[in-house]
Amino acid sequence: MGVADVLYYSIHLQELRSIIQWKTWHNPVHEREPDKESVSLKVCFDFLDKTSRSFSAVIQELHPELLVPIALFYLILRGLDTIEDDMTIPIEKKDPLLRDFHKIIEKEGWSFNGNGPDEKDRELLVQFHYVIEEYRKIKPVYREIINDITLKMGVGMADYCKRAADGKESVVTIGDYDDYCFFVAGLVGIGLTRLFVESEFANPALKERPQLQISMGLFLQKTNIIRDVKEDWDDKRQFWPREIWSKHVSNFEDLFKPENKEAALNCSSEMVLNSLNHADECLFYLAGLKEQSVFNFAAIPQSMAVATLALVFRNPDIFKKNVKITKGLACQTMLDSTENFSKVCEVFRKFVRQIRKKNTPKDPNFLKISVACGKVEQFIESIFPSQSPQAVERAAQEARLSQDPDAVKAREDAKWDMIYMFIFVMGIILVLSTIMIGVAWFAGARFDLAAKQLKEGKFRSDTVQKVVNDKYDRGEL
């Protein structure tokens, strides 16, 4: 922890408390048993830690039935993504790798060392034979699901890369944007849902609601795309659709110029709005998960996403650097997201209200953003009403009375009656106090001695008595 962190948490004590609580009191629903794992599986979990520390933590707390299948699912898609992201691989080589990756993962002993030396997850593909070895051991039904999603994702990625290689703008319309996010994240939501239902850890009805499954992936992916806009631009990548940014600036690079700050903020607000439209469907989905570790696995990333969305909303820093929520806030969010569905709804409500508070009438999408925030709150209110029926009836009664002129006048008169009564009572107390003090003075009370003792800090009666005896003792007694 650096000096800046020490200074930050010395002011934000609640966040420091959340970090300590998470480290000290968080008990995983399930825990891995490394002693019972094969060498190749231990290597897989090592790569899981290296490629994504955040996802690794929640994956390793999953129920034993899904622990290995989901860990391998993540590593296989990470390997696919590593090929797609590597700009040093020529399209002639990349295209067939992406389209045939679902066949490759069935080949025993396959590995790949064709990534550029600077590709961060290069080593995963170099030792990919360990992943394949473990993949071949899991239940056939889980393998079928993983293979099917890998096929669809690989084809979608290949099409996207082909367009980019041909010099065509990859993300022009909002439809293109949704398609890209579907292939890289929405399909993950579909695959995970099939795994959850197959293991009987989710309501089977979720399989019949593909839009809910897709929204789970799109909400995460779109939030990350907004947050990472500067980092992607520095890497010569662009995912914000022209249909949105062209309303605000002439060229995409203009978003990063200080003189276009207001236009850039309005553009980012529209991107946040696009992402926020998936939030209520994510909550609907989470309500269908039955096993606690599966719920935690799905809920934590969604809660982190809505917290990130509140952070990046109308935040000019996203055009200067990669911004992230603080560790303290992340720990507090994870603590809240591992309790129950009601607490997750409260997390969403809290951050949606932050977005609404930062919303400004100067934004062209002010009303749409307000409606989107209201939609999320309305969904939560429909499941967990914030007021009892009696409280709602009282509020309605007060609202009706507020429209009645006679009732308004009566309340105003009652208010002044209370004010006059308070003044009268205080006046009586003042008069009585004055009379009592006067009577005591005439009877010989020495207020000067009392004041002197108070100044000297001698408050106890025995001390006062001793002083009086010493001063007025005549020796006759």
Catalytic residue among 297, 313, 348, 379: 297
Catalytic residue among 237, 242, 353, 356: 237
Query: What is the greatest pairwise CA distance in the chain?
Result: 121
Those residues with Cβ within 8 angstroms of residue 9's Cβ, 6 or more apart along the chain or in another chain: 1, 15, 16, 19, 328
Catalytic residue among 135, 142, 180, 313: 180
Query: Does the active-site annotation cover 313?
Result: no
Query: Does the active-site annotation cover 180?
Result: yes
Distance CA 7, CA 365 (A): 37
Catalytic residue among 227, 285, 351, 379: 227
* SS3 of the chain: CCHHHHHHHHHCHHHHHHHHHHHHHCCCCCCCCHHHCCHHHHHHHHHHHHHCHHHHHHHCCCCHHHHHHHHHHHHHHHHHHHHHHCCCCCHHHHHHHHHCHHHHCCCCCCCCCCCCCCCCCHHHHHCHHHHHHHHCCCCHHHHHHHHHHHHHHHHHHHHHHHHHHCCCCCCCCHHHHHHHHHHHHHHHHHHHHHHHHHCCCECHHHHHCHHHHHHHHHHHHHHHHHHCHHHHHHCCCCCCCHHHHCCCCCCHHHHHCHHHHHHHHHHHHHHHHHHHCCHHHHHHHHCCECCHHHHHHHHHHHHHHHHHHHHHCCCHHHHCCCCCCCHHHHHHHHHHHCCCHHHHHHHHHHHHHHHHHHCCCCCCCHHHHHHHHHHHHHHHHHHCCCCCHHHHHHHHHHHHHHCCHHHHHHHHHHHHHHHHHHHHHHHHHHHHHHHHHHHHHHCCCCHHHHHHHHHHCCCCHHHHHHHHHHHHCCCCC
Query: Does the active-site annotation cover 297?
Result: yes
> Which residues are known to be catalytic?
180, 227, 237, 297
